[in-house]
Amino acid sequence: MVAVWLLADCIGTPVTQPDITATPSFTAAPTDRPVTTPTPVPTPTLIPQPADKPPVSFARADLARGSSAGVMGTGPITLAATGLVSGTYDDPFGARGIAFQSGSWTSEWMPVAFAFDELVASWNADTPPGTWIKVEMQARGSGRETKFFTMITWASGDGDIHRTSTPGQKDGDGDVNIDTFIRAKAAAPLDAYRLRVTLFQRQATAASPSVRMLAAMASAAFKYEIPSLFDGTPVQLQVPLLSQETHAGEFPEYDGGGEAWCSPTSTSMVVAFHGAGPTPDQLEAFPGDKYDDPQVDYAARYAYDWNYKGAGNWPANVAYAARFGLDGFVTRLRSLNEAQRFLNASIPLVASINGKLPGFLLGETNGHLLVIRGFDASGDVITNDPAVKTDEDARKVYRRADFERVWLGGSAGIVYVIYPRGRPLPPNVPGLPPNW
């Protein structure tokens, strides 16, 4: 039995207390007003959480409901022509006093079938030059509502603002550790949340952000039984092979490649599997023609979180992939058998692992990302592991129990689900709260 709480971040980036002086600062004009809770609607019928299954739940916000100011649409959401709020933004890693106009949308309260300890938000959005978004989460339970916690200030590019998580948010209810809200140990239970997205455009900019999906995964600690029984059939997806180690020393301003780039390398493999990715012109502009596998450098730059000082922010990697005609989100899976459902639908997964793994290049990791691409006849896990010296070495098979110990026992089953826009996902497991 393995107990799991959190967190697995890409190796090579130290997990340190963020610099609270680097907090993004928004100043709104006096016309700014809080978003009020809409008239309650009937609570949806929740599937009860069985005591013997990992407590995890995933839900997409209904963009056709909720409350808004200065935005329009029911999916995607864009800025409206009226009702906008004016203000300025101080980029903690760039310019100060960036004049903007903004509008916001807030979801209805989204109930969870269990008391949750952690939450990871996901978004699929387009931010043309001159625009960006901010994603926030508010939780409630035990007769109180928390404040809104900032999950990300995000843009697909970096010409206007630097995408960043927000440090210094800790209070009696919890904190945000880079990409994950974590309930304080002494805090009362939480059983619902809502999401808010604010859309920004520079003053005198006509372009608008466009948000087509906003979602969150909530979970609680669980003790896993390892190993699990393999009850599927062999499958192997032909995911392109890429190595993070061939990029060691490249672009120190984006954490320098090598061990620090496991997440963008894994994301790049899955994006390429789906026939997507940056264009030749984009790669010519960055990183240029002097680099092998330049799509990895490109992903590292455009998934980079300036507060984290790394390219391993989970939902920022998925949001990067969504630039290329793909959809995606971060969730937790309860088992490798759930992972098999995705592989059978031709959707490889990026998985977060943490711990000792026999056969792993470094023997042990304090946070690493790799691709689950299949299962052999014994149920062992076929991966594309970027922690190898050459691209050709990336296909690696790990024993099922060994892999479960570092995946379920390391990150509690975190995966990036990245897939072509519009492709149906496999059905959720019957009788359990949906987790995708």
Domain 18-224 in this protein, CATH class: mainly beta
Average pLDDT for the chain: 92
pTM of the model: 0.92
Q: Dump the DSSP string for 343-399.
A: HHTT--EEEEEEEE-TT-TTSEEEEEEEEEEEE-TT-PEEEE-S-SSSGGG-EEEE-
* 3-state SS track over 134-189: EEEEEEEECCEECCCEEEEEECCCCCCCCCECCCCCCCCCEEEECCEEEECCCCCC
User: Domain-by-domain residue ranges, the chain?
Assistant: 18-224, 235-420
What is the average per-residue pLDDT within 387-409? 98
More confident residue, 17 or 331: 331
SS3 202: strand
Q: Is pLDDT above 80 for 41?
A: no
Whether 258 shows a pLDDT value over 60: the answer reads: yes
CA angle centred on 266, ends 264 and 267, rounded to 5°: 60
User: Are residues 57 and 112 in contact, defined by beta-carbon separation less than 8 angstroms?
Assistant: yes
Residue with tokens 């999906």: 213
CATH architecture for segment(s) 235-420: Alpha-Beta Complex (3.90)
Give residue 94's pLDDT.
Answer: 97
Backbone angles phi, psi at 336, to 5 degrees: -70, -25
Percent of the chain with pLDDT over 70: 91
Q: What is the largest CA-CA distance in the chain?
A: 64
3-state secondary structure of 198: strand
Residue with the two structure tokens 């409206």: 80
50-77 residue pLDDT tens: 999 999 999 999 999 999 999 999 999 9
